[in-house]
Amino acid sequence: MNVIGINGSPRKQWNTATLVSKALAGAAAQGATTELFHLYDLNFKGCTSCFACKLRGGKSYGKCAMNDDLATVLAKIATADALVIGSPIYFGTVTGETRSFLERLLFPYLTYTVPYGTLFSGKIKTGFIYTMNVPEERGKEFGYEQVFATNERYVQMLLGSAETLCAYDTCQVDDYSKVVIESFDPVHKAKRRAEVLPLECQKAFALGQRLAGVEGVAA
């Protein structure tokens, strides 16, 4: 069992990275080998619509032809058993790097047949982890659930199964007095980080266990 983790946050030791790492720890606890990639460490672009992955008889048919830092990651995912994708929510959706990653991951496998199909030869379990500074009710008001459902739908169509873990009302910085952020109560945020983040880490750990094949692990 091989599980790949993707941190789509620019920060390596904050909410998103912490939860992705906990999910990988859960998978490792079940004997899986794991590997974590930080997208902001990689030099890559999103899909350039070159259509090399769709060219009849082309050498890159069914795979991305771009040769950059993401190529190795995509190759490893192609042979993995499970995938954890984590991203904070910026302006109502995933980070730009995460979006570019998803384009490069999914589009080569999509077939423009009737109905649409996939060239992915196996089945991979995917867990999405999203972190955001708004409470759950505000996230619903802003339509975040549609974003999450859309990502799940494409992964289910092209790769296999998918599930989502959301961490709402997260703490953004260590010291709110150093930044101009008057929309949030720093005492409340600190309390959330101290009391709620550990519970979310437990959920992420359980997610990793499920991705590693353990059935019946509570969310």
Domains and CATH numbers, the chain: 2-211 (3.40.50.360)
Average pLDDT value for the chain? 93
Dihedral sign of CA atoms 167, 172, 175, 176 in order = negative
Per-residue pLDDT for 218 more than 60? no
pLDDT tens for 160-211 read 999 999 999 998 888 888 888 888 888 988 898 899 999 999 999 999 999 9
Q: Hey, which residues does 63 pair with through a beta bridge? A: none
pLDDT tens per residue, range 57-70 = 999 999 999 999 99
**Residue-level pLDDT at 171:** 83
Locus of tokens 């606890």: 29
**166: closest CA among 184, 143, 139?**
139
The pLDDT of residue 23: 97
State residue 96's pLDDT score. 96
pLDDT at 150: 96
Rounded average pLDDT over 87-104: 97
Q: The tokens of 189 are what? A: 């945020």
Average pLDDT over residues 102-131: 96
Element (H, E) at 118: strand 117-118
pLDDT band at 214 (very low <50, low <70, confident <90, very high): low
pTM comes to 0.93
Q: Looking at 64-161, which runs of residues are DSSP E strands?
A: 82-90, 93-94, 110-111, 117-118, 125-131
Question: What is each CA distance from 15 to 26, 131, 210, 216, in whole angstroms?
Answer: 17, 7, 21, 26
Percent of the chain with pLDDT over 70: 97
In this predicted structure, the answer to whether residue 215 has a pLDDT above a threshold of 80 is no
| DSSP for 140-183, written as a single string | HHTTHHHHHHHHHHHHHHHTS-EEEEEE-S----S-GGGS---S
**Can you give the pLDDT at residue 219?**
52
Confidence of residue 216 (pLDDT cuts 50, 70, 90): very low
Tell me the mean pLDDT in the region 35-50.
Answer: 97
Tell me how crowded residue 97 is: count the other CB atoms within 10 A of its CB. 22
Q: Report, in this order, helix, strand and coil percent for the chain, each rounded to 5.
A: 45, 20, 40
- What is the pLDDT averaged over residues 72-79? 96
Mean pLDDT within 113-123: 93
Residues facing 191 on adjacent strands: none
